[in-house]
Amino acid sequence: MTQHDAVEVISAKRDGHPLTDSQIDWVIDAYTRGDVAHEQMSALAMAILLNGMDRSEISRWTAAMIASGERMDFSALSRPTADKHSTGGVGDKITLPLAPLVAACGVAVPQLSGRGLGHTGGTLDKLESIPGWRATLSNDEIMAQLERVGAVICAAGDGLAPADKKLYALRDVTGTVEAIPLIASSIMSKKIAEGTGSLVLDVKVGTGAFMKELEKARELASTMVALGQDAGVHTVALVTDMSTPLGLTAGNAVEVAESVEVLAGGGPADVVELTLALAREMLAGAGVTDVDPADKLADGSAMDVWREMIRAQDGDPDAPLPVARESHVVTAPTSGTLTRLDAMAVGMAAWRLGAGRTKQGEAVQAGAGVVWHARPGDRVTAGMPLLTLHTDTPERFERALASLEGGWEIGDPGERAGDPLLIDRIA
């Protein structure tokens, strides 16, 4: 590998020049090994935020991060693989019903997931509310479960893209989280290293999403799709609304319960709509076009895979889910139509109730969260329950209620009541 100097690489990007392949390979490798100091990588990350990267630079940067660790290989499986990644939102429990649904249609789903931080929930935190369920599996266990069950949702190992782990933590404390080249390469380095044959991205936009503006969400989606294509992974992105929270629940156990409702053939219409849209994209990417996932929800096949998947990771799918010790009901002050329910307000309330964490490693409450009893467009009457707050620690109610102030509106039926869920498709 050609040797470079950190100051040389920083200066090139500071002055608006594209980084060469050898500069990128060297700086990622040297930073991973500790030969480039954190303050030097901080300066480079800020230069990237300010001056951007072209497609070839981002592609090479992503490839270098993948090369910093191991790469999984699912080619020995008897069925094709497809994965999905969401950029995060409120009430976004889609992975839970989606993975077993796609597996029931004949495509293996290696879903390596993470934990929540702040107002966006984590898939592993939700599943850990199921008694006995474990998130950590060896590579051999993952392969065996994919072959036997068809779906696995588990923690990503430390061996995947270790460069990203270091850089992600650095971006968080240096004001460079928003750099689209770094967001895209962070997500895609891990997803490509997972070894899936095809990938569907759910890029959220709106008040409860990381991307607040549609133009930026489309830019991120397009960048990630290009990275997937450059790496030989069939990649499609759906841009979806996150101004209104998904479904009727935000938390951990409450979202698991809602996911099971979907797998049983019920559940909120928006959760079912998005689950089916993503399932169809995943199946198409894997070359399976003769199965309608809606049929697998209706006939119980997806539920069968869910139960098998939970049991395979030592969980008990029949065990009662945890219930918070305390609850508080927010009632509608007037009658009318619920015209707005803000995703960020709901997400912050769930976080403050104990469903999320303020720093990595902090414990979460399995039963904490928010349940809402109406969605935008629904008629409400004065005095009816609008939201129910759940927590084990009632002193949290005050701050949770404060975060909900101004987070919903009741008006006339003709007033605006939410955006379409599916906004765009980028391939």
Distances (CA, A) of 213 to 191, 294, 409, 419: 24, 32, 22, 13
Sign of CA dihedral 152, 157, 160, 163: positive
Pair type for strands 385-391 and 422-426:
unpaired
CATH number, domain of 354, equals 3.90.1170.30
Residues 228 and 301 in one domain: yes
Residues 407 and 265 in one domain: no
Residues 242 and 182 in one domain: yes
In a domain, 232, yes or no: yes
| One-letter identity of residue 258 | E
Query: Catalytic site residues?
Result: 85, 164, 171, 186, 190
Segment 211-260, tens digit of pLDDT: 999 999 999 999 999 999 999 999 999 999 999 999 999 999 999 999 99
| Predicted local confidence at residue 121, as pLDDT | 75
In a domain, 300, yes or no: yes
DSSP-derived 3-state class of residue 370: strand
Residues 128 and 188 in one domain: yes
Phi-psi region of 331 (alpha: psi -120 to 50; beta: other; left: phi over 0): beta
Q: Which of 283, 312, 341 is the last residue of a domain?
A: 312
Residues 156 and 284 in one domain: yes
| Predicted local confidence at residue 117, as pLDDT | 63
Q: Does this model's pTM top 0.85?
A: yes
Residues 227 and 201 in one domain: yes
Q: How are the residues of the chain apportioned to helix, strand and coil, as percentages rounded to the nearest 5? A: 45, 15, 40
Residues 123 and 256 in one domain: yes
Q: Residue 253 is part of which domain span?
A: 83-312
Residues 300 and 352 in one domain: no
| Predicted local confidence at residue 114, as pLDDT | 81
Residues 288 and 337 in one domain: no
In a domain, 372, yes or no: yes
In a domain, 69, yes or no: no
In a domain, 76, yes or no: no
Q: Which of 47, 36, 37, 38 is nearest to 10 (CA)?
A: 47
| Predicted local confidence at residue 415, as pLDDT | 60
Residues 150 and 268 in one domain: yes
Q: Which of 394, 388, 360, 401 is nearest to 122 (CA)?
A: 360
Helix or strand run (H / E) with residue 285: helix 269-285
Residues 237 and 166 in one domain: yes
Write the DSSP string, 411-425.
Answer: E-TTS-----SEEEE
Residues 221 and 243 in one domain: yes
| Predicted local confidence at residue 414, as pLDDT | 67
Residue with tokens 């940067």: 61
Q: Which residues of the chain have pLDDT under 70?
A: 116-118, 414-418
Report d(CA 131, CA 3) in Å as an integer: 51
Phi-psi region of 418 (alpha: psi -120 to 50; beta: other; left: phi over 0): left
DSSP-derived 3-state class of residue 55: helix
- Domains identified in the chain, total number: 3
CATH number, domain of 221, equals 3.40.1030.10
| Predicted local confidence at residue 199, as pLDDT | 98
Q: In this structure, are residues 240 and 86 in contact, taking their beta carbons and an 8 Å threshold?
A: no
